[in-house]
Structure 1
Amino acid sequence: MSKSLFLLAALSLSTLTAALAEPAQVLLVRHAERAAEPVGDPALSPAGQLRARALAAALAHAGVTAIITTEFKRSAETAAPSAQALGLAPEVIAARGSDTVAHIAAVAAAVRRHNGVVLVVGHSNTVPAIAAALGAPRLQDFCESSFNHLWVLRPQAQEESAQLLRLRYGAADEVPGAGATANCQ
Protein backbone atom coordinates (compact mmCIF):
# COMPACT_ATOMS: atom_id res chain seq x y z
CA MET A 1 0.00 0.00 0.00
CA SER A 2 1.46 3.36 -0.98
CA LYS A 3 2.18 5.93 1.69
CA SER A 4 -0.36 8.42 0.25
CA LEU A 5 -3.09 5.76 0.03
CA PHE A 6 -2.42 4.78 3.65
CA LEU A 7 -2.55 8.44 4.70
CA LEU A 8 -5.85 8.92 2.83
CA ALA A 9 -7.34 5.81 4.51
CA ALA A 10 -6.19 7.00 7.95
CA LEU A 11 -7.65 10.47 7.34
CA SER A 12 -10.97 8.97 6.21
CA LEU A 13 -11.09 6.75 9.29
CA SER A 14 -10.35 9.65 11.64
CA THR A 15 -13.07 11.75 9.94
CA LEU A 16 -15.55 8.88 10.27
CA THR A 17 -14.60 8.38 13.92
CA ALA A 18 -15.08 12.10 14.63
CA ALA A 19 -18.48 12.04 12.93
CA LEU A 20 -19.55 9.03 14.96
CA ALA A 21 -18.51 10.75 18.20
CA GLU A 22 -21.09 13.50 17.73
CA PRO A 23 -24.15 12.98 19.91
CA ALA A 24 -27.44 12.11 18.23
CA GLN A 25 -29.26 14.50 20.55
CA VAL A 26 -28.37 17.00 23.23
CA LEU A 27 -30.93 17.73 25.94
CA LEU A 28 -30.35 21.11 27.57
CA VAL A 29 -31.98 22.27 30.79
CA ARG A 30 -31.37 24.96 33.33
CA HIS A 31 -30.97 23.74 36.89
CA ALA A 32 -34.20 23.48 38.89
CA GLU A 33 -35.39 26.00 41.49
CA ARG A 34 -32.77 26.77 44.11
CA ALA A 35 -33.07 27.62 47.77
CA ALA A 36 -32.39 31.20 48.86
CA GLU A 37 -29.53 30.23 51.19
CA PRO A 38 -26.60 29.90 51.16
CA VAL A 39 -26.16 32.61 48.56
CA GLY A 40 -22.96 31.25 46.97
CA ASP A 41 -23.94 27.65 46.24
CA PRO A 42 -27.51 26.88 47.27
CA ALA A 43 -29.04 23.43 47.06
CA LEU A 44 -32.39 22.87 45.38
CA SER A 45 -35.54 24.11 47.07
CA PRO A 46 -38.39 21.62 47.68
CA ALA A 47 -39.93 22.81 44.36
CA GLY A 48 -36.58 22.22 42.68
CA GLN A 49 -36.35 18.71 44.08
CA LEU A 50 -39.79 17.97 42.63
CA ARG A 51 -38.70 19.38 39.27
CA ALA A 52 -35.52 17.27 39.28
CA ARG A 53 -37.64 14.15 39.81
CA ALA A 54 -39.98 15.34 37.03
CA LEU A 55 -36.97 15.65 34.73
CA ALA A 56 -35.93 12.09 35.54
CA ALA A 57 -39.45 10.87 34.77
CA ALA A 58 -39.57 12.88 31.52
CA LEU A 59 -36.23 11.42 30.39
CA ALA A 60 -36.72 7.86 31.63
CA HIS A 61 -37.08 6.51 28.07
CA ALA A 62 -35.10 9.16 26.19
CA GLY A 63 -31.99 6.98 25.87
CA VAL A 64 -29.68 9.33 27.80
CA THR A 65 -26.13 7.96 27.64
CA ALA A 66 -24.21 10.82 29.29
CA ILE A 67 -24.91 13.67 31.71
CA ILE A 68 -22.90 16.88 32.01
CA THR A 69 -23.26 19.31 34.93
CA THR A 70 -21.31 22.04 36.68
CA GLU A 71 -19.87 21.69 40.17
CA PHE A 72 -22.66 23.73 41.73
CA LYS A 73 -25.15 21.93 43.98
CA ARG A 74 -28.20 23.15 42.04
CA SER A 75 -26.84 21.71 38.79
CA ALA A 76 -25.68 18.43 40.32
CA GLU A 77 -28.91 17.97 42.31
CA THR A 78 -31.04 18.62 39.20
CA ALA A 79 -29.19 15.84 37.37
CA ALA A 80 -29.02 13.43 40.34
CA PRO A 81 -32.42 11.67 39.98
CA SER A 82 -31.81 11.09 36.26
CA ALA A 83 -28.27 9.88 36.88
CA GLN A 84 -29.40 7.51 39.60
CA ALA A 85 -32.29 6.11 37.55
CA LEU A 86 -30.04 5.57 34.52
CA GLY A 87 -26.97 4.36 36.40
CA LEU A 88 -24.81 7.16 35.01
CA ALA A 89 -22.09 9.21 36.70
CA PRO A 90 -22.39 12.85 35.61
CA GLU A 91 -19.35 14.48 34.06
CA VAL A 92 -18.61 17.70 35.93
CA ILE A 93 -17.29 20.66 33.93
CA ALA A 94 -16.09 23.41 36.26
CA ALA A 95 -17.72 26.79 35.75
CA ARG A 96 -14.29 28.52 35.54
CA GLY A 97 -15.23 31.56 37.61
CA SER A 98 -15.99 34.60 35.50
CA ASP A 99 -14.67 33.04 32.26
CA THR A 100 -18.05 32.02 30.87
CA VAL A 101 -16.70 31.76 27.31
CA ALA A 102 -14.14 29.13 28.36
CA HIS A 103 -16.79 27.22 30.31
CA ILE A 104 -19.16 27.15 27.34
CA ALA A 105 -16.35 25.93 25.07
CA ALA A 106 -15.44 23.21 27.59
CA VAL A 107 -19.05 22.01 27.86
CA ALA A 108 -19.46 21.98 24.06
CA ALA A 109 -16.22 20.00 23.71
CA ALA A 110 -17.39 17.52 26.38
CA VAL A 111 -20.72 17.08 24.61
CA ARG A 112 -18.97 16.38 21.30
CA ARG A 113 -16.91 13.59 22.89
CA HIS A 114 -20.07 11.58 23.49
CA ASN A 115 -22.44 9.78 21.20
CA GLY A 116 -26.05 8.88 21.87
CA VAL A 117 -28.16 11.29 23.92
CA VAL A 118 -26.40 13.79 26.19
CA LEU A 119 -28.15 15.67 29.01
CA VAL A 120 -26.58 19.03 29.89
CA VAL A 121 -27.72 20.72 33.10
CA GLY A 122 -26.55 24.31 33.00
CA HIS A 123 -27.49 27.76 34.18
CA SER A 124 -29.59 30.66 32.90
CA ASN A 125 -26.50 32.40 31.54
CA THR A 126 -24.96 29.31 29.91
CA VAL A 127 -27.70 27.13 28.39
CA PRO A 128 -28.47 29.53 25.48
CA ALA A 129 -24.76 29.95 24.72
CA ILE A 130 -24.05 26.20 24.94
CA ALA A 131 -26.89 25.55 22.46
CA ALA A 132 -25.40 28.17 20.12
CA ALA A 133 -21.92 26.63 20.47
CA LEU A 134 -23.43 23.32 19.36
CA GLY A 135 -24.97 24.86 16.24
CA ALA A 136 -28.41 26.01 17.39
CA PRO A 137 -29.68 29.51 16.82
CA ARG A 138 -29.10 31.76 19.83
CA LEU A 139 -31.91 31.33 22.37
CA GLN A 140 -33.47 34.15 24.34
CA ASP A 141 -32.23 34.69 27.88
CA PHE A 142 -33.99 32.82 30.67
CA CYS A 143 -36.09 34.71 33.19
CA GLU A 144 -34.96 34.27 36.77
CA SER A 145 -38.25 32.44 37.43
CA SER A 146 -37.92 30.13 34.39
CA PHE A 147 -36.98 26.52 35.11
CA ASN A 148 -39.23 24.26 33.02
CA HIS A 149 -37.55 24.48 29.60
CA LEU A 150 -36.17 21.35 28.00
CA TRP A 151 -34.36 22.03 24.74
CA VAL A 152 -33.81 19.08 22.40
CA LEU A 153 -30.96 19.77 19.99
CA ARG A 154 -30.18 17.48 17.09
CA PRO A 155 -26.75 18.45 15.75
CA GLN A 156 -26.45 18.35 11.97
CA ALA A 157 -23.65 18.21 9.46
CA GLN A 158 -21.83 21.53 9.14
CA GLU A 159 -23.63 22.47 5.94
CA GLU A 160 -27.02 22.05 7.63
CA SER A 161 -28.39 23.90 10.61
CA ALA A 162 -29.09 22.06 13.83
CA GLN A 163 -32.67 21.20 14.70
CA LEU A 164 -33.98 22.60 17.97
CA LEU A 165 -37.18 21.67 19.75
CA ARG A 166 -38.46 23.43 22.87
CA LEU A 167 -40.38 21.34 25.38
CA ARG A 168 -41.44 21.92 28.96
CA TYR A 169 -41.41 19.56 31.91
CA GLY A 170 -42.58 19.59 35.51
CA ALA A 171 -44.72 22.31 37.06
CA ALA A 172 -45.45 25.53 35.19
CA ASP A 173 -43.05 28.39 35.84
CA GLU A 174 -44.08 31.37 37.93
CA VAL A 175 -45.09 34.45 35.96
CA PRO A 176 -42.03 36.75 35.68
CA GLY A 177 -42.09 39.74 38.01
CA ALA A 178 -42.22 43.38 36.95
CA GLY A 179 -38.41 43.63 36.79
CA ALA A 180 -38.02 40.71 34.35
CA THR A 181 -36.59 41.28 30.90
CA ALA A 182 -39.47 41.67 28.45
CA ASN A 183 -38.09 39.07 26.04
CA CYS A 184 -36.88 36.46 28.49
CA GLN A 185 -38.15 32.88 28.39
Structure 2
Amino acid sequence: MSLLTLLLSLSLASPAALPAHEGIVVVVVRHAEKDDDDKLDPSLAGDGEVRAQALATTLAGAGLDRAIATQFRRTRQTAEPAAAAAGIDVEVREINAGNAASYATDLAADLRAMPPGSTVLVVGHSNTVPGIVQALSGQAAEAMPETEYDRYTLVLLDTDGGARVITSRY
Protein backbone atom coordinates (compact mmCIF):
# COMPACT_ATOMS: atom_id res chain seq x y z
CA MET A 1 0.00 0.00 0.00
CA SER A 2 1.45 3.36 -0.95
CA LEU A 3 1.56 6.30 1.43
CA LEU A 4 -1.04 8.07 -0.68
CA THR A 5 -3.37 5.05 -0.48
CA LEU A 6 -2.86 4.94 3.29
CA LEU A 7 -3.62 8.61 3.67
CA LEU A 8 -6.70 8.28 1.51
CA SER A 9 -8.01 5.30 3.42
CA LEU A 10 -7.27 6.89 6.79
CA SER A 11 -8.81 10.24 5.95
CA LEU A 12 -11.69 8.95 3.86
CA ALA A 13 -10.79 11.70 1.40
CA SER A 14 -11.28 11.37 -2.33
CA PRO A 15 -8.16 10.95 -4.49
CA ALA A 16 -8.55 14.48 -5.84
CA ALA A 17 -8.73 15.96 -2.33
CA LEU A 18 -5.34 14.76 -1.08
CA PRO A 19 -2.22 15.04 -3.23
CA ALA A 20 0.83 12.85 -2.73
CA HIS A 21 2.84 14.04 0.26
CA GLU A 22 6.59 14.52 0.03
CA GLY A 23 7.17 15.93 3.52
CA ILE A 24 6.97 14.13 6.86
CA VAL A 25 3.86 12.22 7.93
CA VAL A 26 3.18 11.96 11.66
CA VAL A 27 0.36 9.74 12.91
CA VAL A 28 -0.60 10.80 16.45
CA VAL A 29 -2.83 8.53 18.55
CA ARG A 30 -3.76 8.05 22.15
CA HIS A 31 -2.92 4.70 23.73
CA ALA A 32 -5.59 2.04 23.42
CA GLU A 33 -7.96 0.99 26.21
CA LYS A 34 -6.13 0.33 29.45
CA ASP A 35 -6.67 -2.42 31.99
CA ASP A 36 -7.09 -1.89 35.73
CA ASP A 37 -4.21 -4.24 36.60
CA ASP A 38 -1.94 -1.50 37.94
CA LYS A 39 -2.97 1.97 39.13
CA LEU A 40 0.31 3.64 38.15
CA ASP A 41 1.26 1.79 34.96
CA PRO A 42 -1.59 -0.31 33.58
CA SER A 43 -1.21 -2.56 30.57
CA LEU A 44 -3.73 -2.73 27.75
CA ALA A 45 -7.10 -4.34 28.34
CA GLY A 46 -8.37 -6.97 25.90
CA ASP A 47 -10.18 -4.27 23.88
CA GLY A 48 -6.97 -2.26 23.86
CA GLU A 49 -4.99 -5.18 22.46
CA VAL A 50 -7.57 -5.52 19.69
CA ARG A 51 -7.33 -1.78 18.99
CA ALA A 52 -3.51 -1.89 18.89
CA GLN A 53 -3.74 -4.66 16.29
CA ALA A 54 -6.28 -2.59 14.32
CA LEU A 55 -3.84 0.32 14.35
CA ALA A 56 -1.11 -1.97 13.02
CA THR A 57 -3.44 -3.16 10.27
CA THR A 58 -4.38 0.42 9.42
CA LEU A 59 -0.71 1.39 9.15
CA ALA A 60 0.38 -1.75 7.28
CA GLY A 61 2.48 -0.76 4.32
CA ALA A 62 2.86 2.84 5.50
CA GLY A 63 6.62 2.43 5.75
CA LEU A 64 6.96 3.54 9.37
CA ASP A 65 10.44 4.86 10.05
CA ARG A 66 9.88 5.47 13.75
CA ALA A 67 7.38 4.58 16.45
CA ILE A 68 7.55 6.73 19.58
CA ALA A 69 5.75 6.12 22.87
CA THR A 70 6.05 7.32 26.43
CA GLN A 71 7.57 5.09 29.09
CA PHE A 72 4.19 3.74 30.16
CA ARG A 73 3.19 0.17 29.25
CA ARG A 74 -0.09 1.18 27.63
CA THR A 75 1.59 3.49 25.10
CA ARG A 76 4.37 1.04 24.29
CA GLN A 77 1.90 -1.83 23.92
CA THR A 78 -0.25 0.29 21.59
CA ALA A 79 2.73 1.05 19.34
CA GLU A 80 4.36 -2.40 19.40
CA PRO A 81 2.22 -4.24 16.79
CA ALA A 82 2.64 -1.46 14.19
CA ALA A 83 6.35 -1.15 14.94
CA ALA A 84 6.88 -4.91 14.74
CA ALA A 85 5.06 -5.04 11.40
CA ALA A 86 7.39 -2.29 10.12
CA GLY A 87 10.48 -4.06 11.47
CA ILE A 88 11.39 -1.26 13.88
CA ASP A 89 11.59 -0.91 17.66
CA VAL A 90 9.39 1.37 19.72
CA GLU A 91 11.42 4.34 20.93
CA VAL A 92 10.62 5.41 24.46
CA ARG A 93 10.47 9.16 24.94
CA GLU A 94 9.94 9.71 28.64
CA ILE A 95 7.55 12.31 29.91
CA ASN A 96 7.83 13.47 33.52
CA ALA A 97 7.33 16.50 35.74
CA GLY A 98 10.65 17.95 34.60
CA ASN A 99 9.88 17.94 30.87
CA ALA A 100 6.07 17.96 30.71
CA ALA A 101 5.88 21.66 29.82
CA SER A 102 8.25 21.29 26.85
CA TYR A 103 7.51 17.68 25.84
CA ALA A 104 5.31 18.45 22.82
CA THR A 105 7.51 21.28 21.55
CA ASP A 106 10.70 19.23 21.90
CA LEU A 107 9.10 16.22 20.20
CA ALA A 108 7.82 18.41 17.35
CA ALA A 109 11.31 19.86 16.79
CA ASP A 110 12.79 16.36 16.68
CA LEU A 111 10.17 15.17 14.18
CA ARG A 112 10.47 18.24 11.96
CA ALA A 113 14.22 17.51 11.66
CA MET A 114 13.57 14.13 10.05
CA PRO A 115 14.23 13.74 6.34
CA PRO A 116 11.36 14.34 3.89
CA GLY A 117 9.49 11.15 3.14
CA SER A 118 9.64 9.94 6.76
CA THR A 119 6.61 8.43 8.45
CA VAL A 120 6.31 8.34 12.25
CA LEU A 121 3.80 6.92 14.71
CA VAL A 122 3.51 8.82 18.01
CA VAL A 123 1.49 7.27 20.84
CA GLY A 124 0.58 9.57 23.72
CA HIS A 125 -2.14 10.16 26.27
CA SER A 126 -5.44 12.03 26.34
CA ASN A 127 -3.68 14.98 27.97
CA THR A 128 -0.68 15.01 25.59
CA VAL A 129 -2.08 14.20 22.13
CA PRO A 130 -3.75 17.61 21.55
CA GLY A 131 -0.56 19.44 22.58
CA ILE A 132 1.57 17.27 20.30
CA VAL A 133 -0.75 17.94 17.35
CA GLN A 134 -0.68 21.67 18.08
CA ALA A 135 3.11 21.77 18.47
CA LEU A 136 3.54 19.96 15.14
CA SER A 137 0.95 21.86 13.15
CA GLY A 138 0.58 25.25 14.79
CA GLN A 139 -3.18 24.61 14.83
CA ALA A 140 -5.35 24.23 17.91
CA ALA A 141 -6.36 20.62 18.50
CA GLU A 142 -9.61 19.46 20.05
CA ALA A 143 -9.36 18.29 23.65
CA MET A 144 -9.46 14.53 24.10
CA PRO A 145 -11.82 13.08 26.70
CA GLU A 146 -10.55 10.31 28.97
CA THR A 147 -13.03 7.91 27.32
CA GLU A 148 -11.80 8.42 23.73
CA TYR A 149 -9.46 5.83 22.22
CA ASP A 150 -10.21 5.75 18.49
CA ARG A 151 -9.05 9.15 17.23
CA TYR A 152 -5.98 9.45 15.12
CA THR A 153 -4.55 12.60 13.69
CA LEU A 154 -2.37 12.77 10.61
CA VAL A 155 -0.08 15.76 10.63
CA LEU A 156 1.43 16.32 7.21
CA LEU A 157 4.56 18.41 7.63
CA ASP A 158 5.24 20.09 4.31
CA THR A 159 8.77 20.69 3.04
CA ASP A 160 8.06 24.45 3.07
CA GLY A 161 7.42 24.41 6.84
CA GLY A 162 3.62 24.36 6.61
CA ALA A 163 1.40 21.64 8.02
CA ARG A 164 -1.95 20.08 7.28
CA VAL A 165 -4.03 18.15 9.78
CA ILE A 166 -6.46 15.30 9.08
CA THR A 167 -8.37 13.85 12.01
CA SER A 168 -10.42 10.68 11.82
CA ARG A 169 -11.25 7.44 13.66
CA TYR A 170 -9.97 3.90 13.41
2:83 counterpart residue number: 83
Once the two structures are superposed, residues 119-144 of structure 1 have per-residue CA deviations (whole angstroms, 9 ceiling, x without a partner) of: 10011111111111112411111111
Between 1:76-85 and 1:98-107, the stretch displaced more is 98-107
Change in 2 beyond 3 A, CA 1:40/1:25:
same
Q: Which residue of 2 aligns with 1:143?
A: 145
If you compute each CA radius of gyration, which structure gives the higher value, 1 or 2? Answer: 1
1:95-148 per-position Cα deviation (integer Å, ceiling 9, x unaligned): 123642222233223323433111100111111111111124111111111010
- Which whole-Å CA distance do the structure 1 matches of 2:24 and 2:45 have between them? 32
Answer yes or no: is the 8 Å Cα contact 1:69–1:93 preserved in 2: yes
Write the deviation string for residues 13-53 of structure 1: whole angstroms up to 9, x where unpaired: xxxxxxxxx95211100000001231101000000000000
The aligned counterpart of 1:49 is 49
**Equivalent in the alignment of 1:17:** none
Does the 8 Å CA contact 2:69/2:93 hold for their aligned counterparts?
yes
Quote the sequence identity (%): 36
Matched letter for residue 141 of structure 1: A
- Worse-matched range after superposition: 57-66 or 22-31: 22-31
Match of 2:126, as an amino acid? S
1:69 — aligned with what? 69
Q: Match of 2:109, as an amino acid?
A: A
Question: Which runs of no fewer than 5 residues in structure 1 stay unpaired?
Answer: 1-21, 170-185
Map 1:102-113 to 2 at 5 A. 102-113=102-113
- Is the 2:24–2:114 Cα contact (8 Å) retained in structure 1? no
2-structure distance, mates of 1:103, 1:136: 15
For residues 43-98 of structure 1, give each alpha carbon's deviation from its aligned partner in whole angstroms, at most 9, with x where no partner exists: 00000000000000000022211111111000000001011111101221111236
* Matched AA of 1:66: R
Q: Deviation above 6 Å: which 4+ runs of structure 1?
A: none
How many residue pairs end up in the alignment? 146
**TM score, norm. by length of structure 2:** 0.79
Structure 2 counterpart of 1:25, which letter? V
Unmatched runs of 5 consecutive residues or more in structure 2: 1-21
Task: Write the distance in 2 (CA, Å) between the matches of 1:155 and 1:85.
Answer: 24
RMSD of aligned residue pairs (Cα, Å):
1.7
**Superposition pairs of residues 111-122 of structure 1, within 5 angstroms:** 111-115=111-115, 116-122=118-124
Higher relative contact order (CA 8 A, sep 6+): 2
